[in-house]
Structure 1
Amino acid sequence: MMKINQHILDFAKVFIAINLCLVIYSFAFESMHWLLNTQVAFFSSLFITIASFLSYKRNIQSRISNLDMSKTSKTEDRDKIDEIDDPYDLYTEYEEIPEEELTPEKIKEIINDEKSKVRKDSFKNTLFSAGGFLSIYRVLGYGSLLFGFFALNNNGIFLPIAFMIGLGVVPLGVLASKLLFKKL
């Protein structure tokens, strides 16, 4: 049997509690159309959030599995403490070039070299992260949101305030979870 992460259970408890309060409020003070609008928006928003989380989690795991540690750290120059404190060698100081050696051509060469690294890395990052924002689950989540909106609107029962409140349950639940549990 698969064990569920405690953080996920904490988030789920908060989402269920907030949504239950919304359902009770809808039954007590509003109409069934209000309830339908909030629930369509809530479940669409929840589906999008879960899909985003899963796709980015998969993306990060694949990038970690493809990470070549031989390129990220220079073990001959660094001791174990440096590797622990700075595993990706972000704080290594570079050797400065004396000012008399810096000619306009040398400066242009350095700038062009750095620009090419940035362009190459940004294109590479875009390709690697495409799986996160083009996930089939996210597309289905946004599709369900649009379908729910148009279904409510075409049947004449769309209530914008109720729909927006339903969409706000998930972000409010995440914020409440972080404040309540102070984990992660």
Structure 2
Amino acid sequence: MFEKSWRLGDIPEDWKKANVTPIYKNGLKEDPGNYRPMSSITSVPGKVMERIPLRAITSQMKHVIGKSQHGFTKGKLCLTNPIAFYDKVIFSVDVGQVVDIVYLGFSKASNTVPHSLLLKASVNMGSLGYWNQIIVIMNMCLEEITNMNPENLCLKKNLLCPGSLLYIHL
């Protein structure tokens, strides 16, 4: 089944299904912008299928992403970034170097990258070919609205679904 899906570039509908639950972040609970969609793919074959392009992408990106990258790299959580940064600053000060610091954070950056842009970048890098389309298809989510009026929550369908393996690692 996996091989057929790979060759034809087609995935069974049941493999694409995911539940999307709005998770409150902060601010007014009435504002849909204060929620982030969290998904979970409900099909085991879908989860297995998602790992195939993930391995290929991860393998290619190892050569592009710097060793200091934190947040979506294996073994480097978002929380380890400030610790590693602090260690480097303290060491530099201890050896008498002048340290200037500019620290930028991009709020919601990973939630605003359209699939079309990811596909274009991936094609330009020569990666995965037709599997780029499958990545998009596999990350189309079915909405599961919990304790909320569906009219108050807008999920952007052209974005990777948080909670999926590809979202976590891309």
The structure whose residues are more often helix, as a share, is: 1
The structure whose residues are more often strand, as a share, is: 2
Tell me the TM-score range normalised by the shorter chain: under 0.3
What TM-score, normalized to structure 1? 0.22
What TM-score, normalized to structure 2? 0.24
Q: Indicate the structure whose relative CO is greater, using CA pairs within 8 Å and at least 6 residues apart.
A: 1
Structure number, greater radius of gyration? 1
